[in-house]
Amino acid sequence: MSIMGTRVLRKEDPKFLTEGATYTADVRDPRLEGAAHVHFVRSTFAHAKITSIDISDAASMPGVLGICTADDIPEDVGTVPAAVPLFPPSMMNRPLLATGTARFVGEPVVAVVAETPTQAADAADMVFVDYEPLPVAIDIEDANADNNIIFDDVGTNTAVDFAMMGMATGIGEEDIFADCDVVVKQRIINHKTAPAPLEGRSVACVWEGEKLIIWLSSQAPHGFKGALPGVYEGIDCQVICPDVGGGFGQKIGGTPEELIMPHLSRVYNRPMRWTETRTENFIGIGHGRAQVQYATIGGSSDGEIQSYRLEVIGDSGAYCGLGAFLPFFTHIMAAGVYKIPKIETAAKSVVTNTAPVLAYRGAGRPEATAAIERAIDIFAAECGLSAVEVRRKNLIPADAFPYTTPHGTEYDSGAYETSLDKALEAADYQALLAEQAARRERGDRIQLGIGVSVYVEITGGPAPGGAEFARVHITPEGKAQIFSGAFSHGQSHATTFAMVAADQLGMSIDDIEVVQGDTDKVPEGTGTFASRSLQFGGSAVYDSSREVANQAREIAAKLLEADAEDVVLDTSTGAFHVQGTPAVSKSWADVAAAAANDGVTLQHEGSHNANCSYPFGAHVVVAEVDTETGEVTVPKIVTCDDSGTILNPNIIEGQRHGGIAQGIAQALTEEFVYDEDGNPVTSNFADYGFISAAELPSFTLVPLETPTPNNPLGAKGIGESGAIGSTPALQSAVVNALSHLGIRHIDIPLSPERVWSAISDS
Amino acid sequence: MEISVKINGEEHRQEVEPRTLLVHFLRDQIGLTGTNIGCDTSSCGACTVHVNGESVKSCTMFAVQADGEEVLTIEGLASNGELHPMQEAFRQCHALQCGYCTPGMVMASVSLIQENPNPTEAEVREGLEGNLCRCTGYHNIVKAVMEVAK
Ligand code: FES
Ligand code: FES
């Protein structure tokens, strides 16, 4: 029986459970012996001229080795490389340390280097920076109005106008709603949330002659290696990512604090370490989502949708990193799972005096789903129809795939109505409706709401697709090593990639080692983000495993004194034999020994290129709303998420669980808040509503497998689905619980105050 | 000052600074890096260990306060190469992904079950409220703890 599709326990776990994983701060490499430590002095102003920096007291503190300001950075050290080449305007690029102007609270201004972390922190307290405050732009719409300009020489806060770049349709001359009986418009806030991996950023580095060795907590070791030459021209380096404690999009590129480390290590001629605190992680690196949307939807009064327009203003934060690019994903996924004849999108990103916006689990696609799902609910309410029935009426039918939306996005495969039916059935929708009716009838204090969302997203994007590298090598003992350019920071590649190879090679996963996270050992790679690893990285393992099996067959043929064409590899036993005569066979050990004897290396490497895939599903969330306090609890979450062919149900379910929790968190408890002056007010775990076990129920997961034709594994990405479907489903549930009061929309997060005000205004 | 602490059954006599936190002492002086640091407000539980059999967030305590006490960390939980039932349940239930919360979560779960051998799901969820996990949505963690309670 094939190992594929089975609940294999993780190879990672025995170590993680008995001694703990080895994160960057745990690395005790002898080359890091005697490392100095860095502490950053961060701006306390959202927008200010830096008029002077007094380091004299700090410099004489115990253990201080040196203090670095922007003036001390030599000219041959560059700025943060653009996240997307040629995009956005280079004038909004970010320096390693604030230079002349600070643009958000938390921006690093000075780096203090000392013998110990405590000495560095103590000395940092004695650095005095003089600021001359400048007017701020914190709110997205305010920044968009260009009331206060953040980059004088650019003259506008608009970083990117997607329609102008041909990356959104723009709003046409023709009124697409002219023929609609019913048209509704809604302003929707998709607020800032913190990715908050439990491990923050951490770096350790050392120069060995002209070569930099750098350890860091990253999702993309090769991506970081690729970014370094943008700062240090011609640099020779080895990037090593040991175990990583989660990323969720936060650890894709290089951030200034990480990128300045090689410079500090070189100047002070010491190995150098920096591990951020939770507060630094919250105020310093950036947040996800952050859009204001205007959704307009129109159709016939019997619930058929004819036209949809989505206008988005995305916050890119203080500079133009990856966040400035994310509204593009919102544009391409605007249509959601619906067959809508006319679609228009307009999207912009604007800079604000807040921490840079970054990719966070879903990165632009949850925002698209949130908008269309809200719009459908409101449209259904306006028509006086059931939101579930309006969805059903407009879903793209299963026989329409591959399907291209009117604005050009090509969905690979789908069974949207099936996912909706299965989720509703598992949730016992009819019983929920009856319960809701009974509570309304009785006028219960605790009202019940049922929220439904149906979503589709793009993984491995942007279209058309992507690539990942894998090398499969057979050791002289007949075991396998996989060198993967994808990199697990919790996704379990050591287990799943071993399963893919085991299935092709007929080996036990115990005989397969996955090597990842070291750019000297793995020659190429992209990394793990956008739910891309299995579809691209796994497919690369699949390809190379098959090639290696073919090479091995040639050698086995010699041993069996047969023609290679007649020799088969029995993948259930790992034995090579002549077709039809399994009794005489050779093992991997025999073949590997023979290869070694002949001086042949059994190995294949290459990149697998594939098109993106479009996972989809339906979520049903039940909310209980206390009509006297506005408090929301979530007793039931049912999801049917389709990620194509399932490799390991445990791991797929784990990804769904984590995503669901983060999506519910955004709708319910989590918001990264700045006050009007740009001071962060939720800058640690005590103030931020990080979701805990107590606020969540156990989840009911319904399986569905609609393979994608776009890669040999049939796998679609699953990392982000949970976070995409659950947010709008909970929002819908809370509005649904209160719909009898005439409430049609409440923005997230659904705090008791916000829900209570909606009730009392109704 | 000098302190003497029994850690995972072994006596350690060491010089510590008065302001050294127990978590830093364990990680930097003893070299037991299984215990992690996830926050600066004593909110996340990644640093949870047992002191005299009770679960404690080791970032809330100075090393000097552990003088003469017994500390158990994740590294000392398995015995004779056998996983503790809680470790085994975490493994069976896929209750960990990136592993960062795991040592603290396992230690907190062990003491939760010691205090309440037959908890309801709600009690497990309440009991683990101070241990944050970003990866698992807690579903499989709760399942693992309930398995051990069975
Ligand atoms: S590090 Fe101790 S509770 Fe977070
Ligand atoms: S497993 Fe990653 S934080 Fe819990």
Assess: ipTM above 0.90. yes
Instruction: Band the pLDDT of B81: cuts 50, 70, 90.
Output: confident
List pLDDT tens digits, range A689-725: 999 999 999 999 999 999 999 999 999 999 999 999 9
Using the beta-carbon criterion (under 8 Å), do B98 and A650 form an inter-chain contact?
Answer: no
- Expressed in angstroms and rounded, the spacing between residue B111 Cα and the centre of ligand 2 is 19
A727: CB partners within 8 A, 6+ apart: A366, A369, A370, A663, A664, A666, A667, A748
Residue B80 lies in a domain: no
Find, among A454, A424, A449, the residue nearest to A617 by Cα.
Answer: A454
Rounded to whole angstroms, the Cα distance separating A349 from A83 reads: 14
Half-sphere exposure for A58 (CA within 13 Å, toward CB):
27
Residue B35 lies in a domain: yes
Q: How many CB pairs under 8 A join A and B?
A: 174
Identify the nearest ligand to the CA of A244 by its number.
2
Which of B36, B136, B140 is the best mutation target for the ligand 2 pocket, counting ligand atoms within 8 Å of the beta carbon and taking the most? B136
- Expressed in angstroms and rounded, the spacing between residue A490 Cα and the centre of ligand 2 is 8
CATH of the domain at B90: 1.10.150.120
Which of A16, A23, A198, A491 is the best mutation target for the ligand 2 pocket, counting ligand atoms within 8 Å of the beta carbon and taking the most? A198
Look at residue A1 and tell me whether its pLDDT is greater than 90.
Answer: no
A68: CB partners within 8 A, 6+ apart: A97, A110, A111, A112, A113, A260, A263, A264, A267
Look at residue A78 and tell me whether its pLDDT is greater than 90.
Answer: yes
Residue B141 lies in a domain: yes
Distance from CA of A690 to the nearest CA of B (A): 8
* Residues B71, B8 share a domain: yes
Contact between A339 and A394 under an 8 Å Cβ cutoff? The reply is yes
**Sign of the C-alpha dihedral computed for residues A691, A694, A697 and A701 taken in this order:** positive
Query: C-alpha A672: how far from its chain's center?
Result: 17
Identify the nearest ligand to the CA of B103 by its number.
2
* Residues B89, B47 share a domain: no
Q: Nearest CB to A196: which of B75, B121, B134?
A: B134
Using the beta-carbon criterion (under 8 Å), do B38 and A198 form an inter-chain contact?
Answer: yes
B14: enclosing H helix or E strand: strand B10-15
Look at residue A527 and tell me whether its pLDDT is greater than 60.
Answer: yes
Contacts of A244 in chain B (CB under 8 A): 98
List pLDDT tens digits, range B104-115: 999 999 999 999
For residue A461, the model assigns a pLDDT of 84
To test the contact with chain B by mutation, choose from A122, A198, A219 the residue with the greatest count of B C-beta atoms within 10 A, namely A198
A42: CB partners within 8 A, 6+ apart: A105, A106, A107, A108, A109, A280, A283, A284
Around Cβ A757, how many Cβ atoms within 10 Å?
13
Residue B42 lies in a domain: yes
For residue A149, the model assigns a pLDDT of 96
Residue B65 lies in a domain: yes
Query: For A487-525, b where at least 16 C-beta lie within 10 A, e where not — what string?
Result: bbbbbbbbbbbbbbbbbbbbbebebbbbebbbbeebebb
Using the beta-carbon criterion (under 8 Å), do B141 and A10 form an inter-chain contact?
Answer: no
**Sign of the C-alpha dihedral computed for residues A277, A279, A280 and A285 taken in this order:** positive
Q: Nearest CB to B87: which of A18, A22, A650?
A: A18
Domain count of the fold of chain B: 2
Look at residue B43 and tell me whether its pLDDT is greater than 90.
Answer: yes
For residue A90, the model assigns a pLDDT of 66
* Residues B109, B51 share a domain: no
> Where in the sequence is the domain holding B51, given as residue range(s)?
2-75
B150: CB partners within 8 A, 6+ apart: none
**Sign of the C-alpha dihedral computed for residues A730, A732, A733 and A738 taken in this order:** positive
* Residues B49, B102 share a domain: no
List pLDDT tens digits, range A462-501: 889 999 999 999 999 999 999 999 999 999 999 999 999 9
Q: Is the peptide bond before A749 cis (omega within 30 degrees of 0)?
A: yes
Question: Residue A131, class by beta-carbon neighbours within 10 Å (0-12 exposed, 13-18 middle, 19+ buried)?
Answer: middle
The verdict on A25 touching B (C-beta cutoff 8 Å) is yes
* Residues B50, B16 share a domain: yes
Residue B13 lies in a domain: yes
List pLDDT tens digits, range A117-153: 999 999 999 999 999 999 999 999 999 999 999 999 8
* Residues B95, B70 share a domain: no
* Residues B71, B6 share a domain: yes
B21 pocket-lining for ligand 1 (C-beta < 6 Å)? no
Residue with tokens 């723009």: A170
Nearest CA in chain A to B99: A16
A56: CB partners within 8 A, 6+ apart: none
- Expressed in angstroms and rounded, the spacing between residue A474 Cα and the centre of ligand 1 is 43
* Residues B90, B57 share a domain: no
Instruction: Band the pLDDT of A370: cuts 50, 70, 90.
Output: very high
For residue A84, the model assigns a pLDDT of 73
Q: Which two tokens stand for residue A358?
A: 């970054």
Contact between A725 and A369 under an 8 Å Cβ cutoff? The reply is yes
Identify the nearest ligand to the CA of B27 by its number.
1
* Residues B103, B51 share a domain: no
A471: CB partners within 8 A, 6+ apart: A482, A483, A522, A523, A544, A603, A604, A605
Contact between B36 and A20 under an 8 Å Cβ cutoff? The reply is yes
Q: How many Å from the N-terminal Cα to the C-terminal Cα in chain B?
A: 46
Around Cβ A751, how many Cβ atoms within 10 Å?
17
List pLDDT tens digits, range A230-281: 999 999 999 999 999 999 999 998 999 999 999 999 999 999 999 999 999 9
Using the beta-carbon criterion (under 8 Å), do A13 and B134 form an inter-chain contact?
Answer: no
Rounded to whole angstroms, the Cα distance separating A633 from A624 reads: 5
In the listed set B75, B102, B123, which residue is the last one of a domain according to the structure? B75
List pLDDT tens digits, range A650-683: 999 999 999 999 999 999 999 999 999 999 999 9
Contact between A340 and A307 under an 8 Å Cβ cutoff? The reply is yes
In the listed set B75, B99, B129, which residue is the last one of a domain according to the structure? B75
Query: Average of pLDDT values for B71-88?
Result: 96
* Residues B70, B23 share a domain: yes
Residue B11 lies in a domain: yes
* Residues B65, B7 share a domain: yes
List pLDDT tens digits, range A397-435: 999 999 999 999 999 999 999 999 999 999 999 999 999
Q: What is the DSSP string of A673-702?
A: -B-TTS-BS--STTTS----GGG---EEEE
Contact between A422 and A618 under an 8 Å Cβ cutoff? The reply is yes
Using the beta-carbon criterion (under 8 Å), do B142 and A698 form an inter-chain contact?
Answer: yes
Using the beta-carbon criterion (under 8 Å), do B74 and A650 form an inter-chain contact?
Answer: no
Q: Nearest CB to A693: which of B40, B77, B129?
A: B129
B59 pocket-lining for ligand 1 (C-beta < 6 Å)? yes
Rounded to whole angstroms, the Cα distance separating A434 from A418 reads: 23
B46 pocket-lining for ligand 1 (C-beta < 6 Å)? yes
Rounded to whole angstroms, the Cα distance separating A638 from A431 reads: 14
List pLDDT tens digits, range A583-613: 999 999 999 999 999 999 999 999 999 999 9
**Ligand 1: which residue has its CA nearest to atom 3?**
B42
**Sign of the C-alpha dihedral computed for residues A717, A242, A21 and A245 taken in this order:** negative
Rounded to whole angstroms, the Cα distance separating A111 from A129 reads: 12
* Residues B98, B50 share a domain: no
Reading phi first (left if > 0) and then psi (alpha if -120 to 50, else beta), residue B81 is in left
Q: What is the DSSP letter of A81?
A: P
Residue B17 lies in a domain: yes
Contact between B103 and B46 under an 8 Å Cβ cutoff? The reply is yes
The helix/strand count (H/E) of chain A reads as: 19, 28
Helix, strand, coil % (nearest 5) of chain B?
A: 35, 20, 45
The verdict on A33 touching B (C-beta cutoff 8 Å) is no
Query: Average of pLDDT values for B126-149?
Result: 98
For residue A228, the model assigns a pLDDT of 96
Query: Average of pLDDT values for A187-202?
Result: 98
Using the beta-carbon criterion (under 8 Å), do B135 and A685 form an inter-chain contact?
Answer: no
B57 pocket-lining for ligand 1 (C-beta < 6 Å)? yes
Backbone angles phi, psi at A143, to 5 degrees: -65, -40
CATH of the domain at B30: 3.10.20.30
Rounded to whole angstroms, the Cα distance separating A371 from B67 reads: 57
For residue A85, the model assigns a pLDDT of 65
A482: enclosing H helix or E strand: strand A480-484
List pLDDT tens digits, range A392-405: 999 999 999 999 99
Rounded to whole angstroms, the Cα distance separating A11 from A29 reads: 24
For residue A92, the model assigns a pLDDT of 86
- Rounded to two decimals, the pTM is 0.97
Using the beta-carbon criterion (under 8 Å), do A196 and B136 form an inter-chain contact?
Answer: no
- Expressed in angstroms and rounded, the spacing between residue B67 Cα and the centre of ligand 1 is 21
The verdict on B137 touching A (C-beta cutoff 8 Å) is yes
For residue B105, the model assigns a pLDDT of 98
Instruction: Band the pLDDT of A93: cuts 50, 70, 90.
Output: confident
Distance from CA of B10 to the nearest CA of A (A): 16
Contacts of B91 in chain A (CB under 8 A): 9-10, 13-14, 17
Backbone angles phi, psi at A476, to 5 degrees: -60, -20
The answer for B 4-33 residues in CB contact with A (under 8 A) is: 19, 27, 31, 33
Residue A651's identity, in one-letter code, is I
**Ligand 2: which residue has its CA nearest to atom 3?**
B133
In the listed set B75, B107, B137, which residue is the last one of a domain according to the structure? B75
Q: Which two tokens stand for residue A761?
A: 């205004």
Question: Which domains, from first to last, does chain A contain?
Answer: 15-134+196-284 (3.90.1170.50), 135-193+289-397 (3.30.365.10), 415-458+614-762 (3.30.365.10), 462-611 (3.30.365.10)
